[in-house]
A and B are shown apart, each in its own frame.
Chain A
Amino acid sequence: MSSDRIEAGTITLLSGKGDEIEAYHAKPTDAESHGSVVVIHHMPGYDSSTKEIARRFAAHGYGAIVPNLFHRYAPGASAGDGAAAARAAGGVPDAQCLEDVAGAMAFLRAESGANGKVGVIGYCSGGRQSYLTACNLDVDAAVVCYGGGVVATPDQLTPERPVAVIDMTKDLRCPMLGLFGVDDANPSPEHTARMEEELKGHGKTYEFHTFDDAGHAFFWVERPSYRFEAAREGWHKIWEFYGKYLEG
């Protein structure tokens, strides 16, 4: 019988390129073997809602880590100040994001009890970064929660984000689960159809679910965008998906 015990707290994480960033780590304390998940926070930052998601993964038997992608812009600052500072600086470059996620993956794979399988999940801008990660790093399963900007026009590309992530689809290395709201404007149902077309065209393993009566950020329990039905069903899909690809 599981004790349901978890441990969670702030750690210093070594990024893939060697510098240190803040991260939030949670894990079950009595699992003999567990899969792991890198949780990528949304644009509003490295906040309490995202840390709560990490603890939820731990309670379900997964090791989880949330790298603070905004740490470099505002070390030790509140989530809001960090998000504002990152935005003022042009946002997180894709290359830097990948270094931080790579560091998180290495941490999770090295910890005691880890079975070596690591998934990634991201919300909002983190959903795009989850897609980015799945096309560039050696993850075992990727969940994209309403990732906006995966489909990008040339005028939306910047020095920080120079390539449309959808154009990386051919390099996707793992199965992907996509969770979206039908009322979302970015990604809109047209955007998700475009993603599916690309995934199908390259013969990738994926499943997409678009929920009725839900828009962007329907998992975010503290906001008016929260949608109980979509979030509940979404969590079921996540447990099934990670159960299939990260356990054992």
Chain B
Amino acid sequence: MCTYLTSTERVAGTGLGAQGWFSIERAVVYFDHPQEAPVEHALCIDFRPGEHADPSQRVAVELDARSARTLAESILATLAHDEVRALGVD
């Protein structure tokens, strides 16, 4: 399967790439052939800076589907934890 299905989310944060830390403005999410992971398909996320940045400036991850679900649930659970909610940042 190959797919153009791509979701681009506006995000705010920082990522550590080959050249050091940089600001992240977009997360591009898709499920397709990975570049490197030894699976036929992977949930891929490219954390990217603004639109006109160097194309090599990204943090890329490729996860098998189960890992991606586990990660998503872990993120949501972490943000839902009482200690985090008590900070009132969400």
Does B19 touch A at the CB level, under 8 Å? no
Interchain CA distance A143-B19 in the complex, whole Å: 41
Does B21 touch A at the CB level, under 8 Å? no
Given contacts A83-B35, A217-B33, A224-B39, contact A149 B4 (CB under 8 A): yes
Interface range for B: 20 to 34
Instruction: List B contacts of A148 (CB < 8 A).
Output: 1-3
Contact B56 A77 (CB under 8 A): yes
Task: Pick the contact of A42: B6, B33, B55 (CB < 8 A).
Answer: B33
**Which chain B residue lies CB-closest to A124?**
B2
Contact A87 B30 (CB under 8 A): yes
Q: Chain B binding site: helix, strand, loop or mixed by DSSP?
A: loop
Instruction: List B contacts of A82 (CB < 8 A).
Output: 55
Does B43 touch A at the CB level, under 8 Å? no
Task: Pick the contact of B1: A73, A85, A186 (CB < 8 A).
Answer: A186
Interchain CA distance A186-B48 in the complex, whole Å: 28
**Which chain A residue lies CB-closest to B46?**
A84
Given contacts A44-B35, A81-B58, A224-B40, contact A88 B3 (CB under 8 A): no
Instruction: List A contacts of B32 (CB < 8 A).
Output: 43-44
Shortest B31–chain A CB gap in Å is 11
Contact B35 A79 (CB under 8 A): yes
Instruction: List A contacts of B40 (CB < 8 A).
Output: 215-217, 223-225
Chain A residues within 8 Å of chain B by Cβ, number: 35
Interchain CA distance A86-B33 in the complex, whole Å: 15
Q: Chain A binding site: helix, strand, loop or mixed by DSSP?
A: loop
Q: Which of A203-248 contact B (CB under 8 A)?
A: 215-217, 223-225
Contact A125 B48 (CB under 8 A): no
Instruction: List B contacts of A74 (CB < 8 A).
Output: 55-56
Shortest A134–chain B CB gap in Å is 18
**Which chain A residue lies CB-closest to B34?**
A44
Q: Which of A26-68 contact B (CB under 8 A)?
A: 42-45
Interchain CA distance A82-B39 in the complex, whole Å: 21
Q: CB-defined interface of B2-29 with A at 8 Å, one 1/0 digit per residue?
A: 1110101000000000000000001010
Task: Pick the contact of B55: A84, A91, A185, A186 (CB < 8 A).
Answer: A84
Interface positions of A (Cβ within 8 A of B): 42-45, 73-74, 77-85, 87-88, 90-91, 124-125, 146, 148-149, 158, 161, 184-186, 215-217, 223-225
Q: List 12 A-B contacts (CB under 8 A).
A: A43-B33, A44-B35, A77-B56, A78-B56, A80-B60, A81-B55, A146-B2, A148-B2, A148-B3, A158-B4, A161-B4, A223-B40
Q: What 8 A-B pairs have minimum CB-CB distances, sorted nearest first?
A: A74-B55, A85-B55, A186-B1, A148-B2, A124-B2, A80-B35, A185-B1, A77-B55
